[in-house]
Structure 1
Amino acid sequence: MTPTFVLTRPQMGENIGAAARAMLNFGVDRMRIVAPRDGWPNPAAVALASGAGRVLDGASVHDDLAGALVDCTYVYATTARQRDLTKEVLSPEAAMRDAAARMAAGGHVAVLFGPERAGLENDDIAQANALISVPVNPEFPSLNLAQCVLLVGYEWMRASAQVTDRMVEMAGTQWATGDEVEHLARHFEERLDAAGFFFPEHKAASMRTNLRNMWSRMPLTRADVQTLHGMLRQMVRWARRG
């Protein structure tokens, strides 16, 4: 289950389609549309949905906001400006964490998004339990409908799914083992010793230690180790030919 995203009086079919695409990017597929200016269905919405047509196919259309919220147990309203209403105001991150907890307890959560030109009106806001305010540049707070949907959808994904914050694509290889790195270090030391690198003699030990420390700091893969071995062998062959 995901929250229901309610588009209130959207003005352009293109923005509805872009919002559907943004929703599906983050696994949200429950859309309700309140009094769309250009009617429904809207071919322009389908064109901009770009593969997210099933969100539009499943969308319900309502004459007023009350009808769209009739079965919802908690409602957030997105807004970019101060209101003369007493409401709890949450960031998108905090709101979607709260939404995930409410839905896990069996609730039906909705998020309201306003029309493109001016956003939600106070009469709309009055029907919500809490507000979502995106931290934006105060000198230019306006967000496109689909952009706002994207931000909230992203935070929903983070709150409701296991998101990997950091990873490395191994590209067909594995991390080098300690033995493989040790073998590489010995290979370099042997060749550098033969080339007279460890000079003067009284600094040789610390130079070797610094080299070993350098290898240990490098996150080497097996492919890296093989490449470095090959580079060193080729350099030795070239020096011998010379």
Structure 2
Amino acid sequence: MQTERPILPNAPAVILVAPQMGENIGAAARAMLNFGLTEMRLVAPRDGWPNPKAVAMASGAAGRVLDHAKVYPTLAEAMKGIEYAYATTARGRELTKPVLTPEAAMAETRARAGRSAIIFGPERTGLENDDIARANAIVTVPVNPEFPSLNLAQAVLLMGYELGRDTLPPEPAPHARRADSEELADRVEIERLGDHYDERLTEAGFFFPDTKAASMRLNLRNMWSRLPLTRGDVRVLHGILRQLTRR
């Protein structure tokens, strides 16, 4: 079975070394597909493969990442065809390798012509030095030094984001046209709402004492103009005021 064609050009393979829980593999697949990564390679998953818990966690579309996942007994075999590999770890600095941030590493990957891979370690211990030694460079996330641990899916998501942020669409897809009640109210509608409240609050004696009435009115008018009210919101606020003053 061939791996799906990636959404991103020259997208790296994601290699999970000795993942322990099927749920984490499924969550990693979801994170991958969020950013156009589709090639997953598994090294000796603890609970075997395939794993129904991984499929359940992948939730629909991301299941196709798992459908094409390949399993290898060792990391060395999983790196077949890979020309440049990044080991994601907060350890291994005693090894003489470049240490990069996710941003810098994924910028390199986008510019590189050959096949790349991002290697992630098991959830409890992370990558061992023997695994890190097989990579060209280390990627370390600049996080709170008092709590540097990321779970597997978080780490995959972060790397995928850095890889895809200059390639995938920069803005969310536009939503369908809003219903009238969801459209933002225009300035005239806001002005009428302000007038309505001004009238009723005046009748109720809210603007007291007279020396402060002008500034109170100004502040109230300014408040209405700041709020991102929809037409539906305006109608509700008119209705509330009418009901409160009806008696």
- TM-score (norm: length of structure 1): 0.75
What residue in structure 1 maps to residue 115 of structure 2? 108
Gaps of 5+ in 2: 1-7
What residue in structure 2 maps to residue 119 of structure 1? 126
Bigger drift between 53-62 and 133-142 goes to: 133-142
Taking the aligned partners of 1:137 and 1:131, their CA distance within structure 2 comes to: 18
Taking the aligned partners of 1:123 and 1:82, their CA distance within structure 2 comes to: 9
Cα 1:224/1:36, change in 2 over 3 Å: closer
Taking the aligned partners of 1:204 and 1:84, their CA distance within structure 2 comes to: 71
User: Offset of 1:201 from its aligned partner?
Assistant: 4.0
What's the % identity of the aligned pairs? 64
1:93-118 alpha-carbon deviations (Å, 9 max, x no partner): 4433443x326xx4433101123453
- Whether contact under 8 Å (1:96, 1:159) holds in the other structure is no
Taking the aligned partners of 2:144 and 2:214, their CA distance within structure 1 comes to: 57
What residue in structure 1 maps to residue 4 of structure 2? none
Name the amino acid aligned to 1:181.
Answer: I
Cα 1:203/1:27, change in 2 over 3 Å: same
User: Offset of 1:57 from its aligned partner?
Assistant: 1.8
Counterpart selection for 2:88 from 70, 75, 78: 78
Cα 1:78/1:185, change in 2 over 3 Å: same
- Whether contact under 8 Å (2:35, 2:168) holds in the other structure is no
Taking the aligned partners of 1:183 and 1:195, their CA distance within structure 2 comes to: 18
- Whether contact under 8 Å (1:83, 1:122) holds in the other structure is no
- Whether contact under 8 Å (2:82, 2:116) holds in the other structure is yes
1:182 paired with 2:194, answer no
RMSD: 3.4
Taking the aligned partners of 1:43 and 1:191, their CA distance within structure 2 comes to: 63
Q: Which has the larger radius of gyration?
A: 1
Taking the aligned partners of 1:44 and 1:189, their CA distance within structure 2 comes to: 60
What residue in structure 2 maps to residue 95 of structure 1? 105
Cα 1:213/1:136, change in 2 over 3 Å: closer
Counterpart selection for 1:56 from 66, 80, 85: 66
What residue in structure 1 maps to residue 241 of structure 2? 232
Alignment of 1:7-86 (within 5 A): 7-11=16-20, 13=22, 15-36=24-45, 40-42=49-51, 45-46=54-55, 48-51=57-60, 52-86=62-96
- Local SS of the residue matching 1:32: strand
Cα 1:67/1:192, change in 2 over 3 Å: same
Taking the aligned partners of 1:47 and 1:203, their CA distance within structure 2 comes to: 63
- Local SS of the residue matching 1:84: coil
- Whether contact under 8 Å (1:79, 1:133) holds in the other structure is yes
User: Offset of 1:30 from its aligned partner?
Assistant: 0.8
What residue in structure 1 maps to residue 218 of structure 2? 209
Cα 1:111/1:221, change in 2 over 3 Å: same
Cα 1:58/1:185, change in 2 over 3 Å: same
1:160-213 alpha-carbon deviations (Å, 9 max, x no partner): 434559x99x78511111111111122222233334444444444333322222
Taking the aligned partners of 2:54 and 2:41, their CA distance within structure 1 comes to: 14
Taking the aligned partners of 2:57 and 2:199, their CA distance within structure 1 comes to: 63
- TM-score (norm: length of structure 2): 0.74
Cα 1:12/1:175, change in 2 over 3 Å: closer
Counterpart selection for 1:130 from 129, 137, 144: 137
- Local SS of the residue matching 1:71: coil
Cα 1:40/1:178, change in 2 over 3 Å: closer
Taking the aligned partners of 1:190 and 1:149, their CA distance within structure 2 comes to: 58
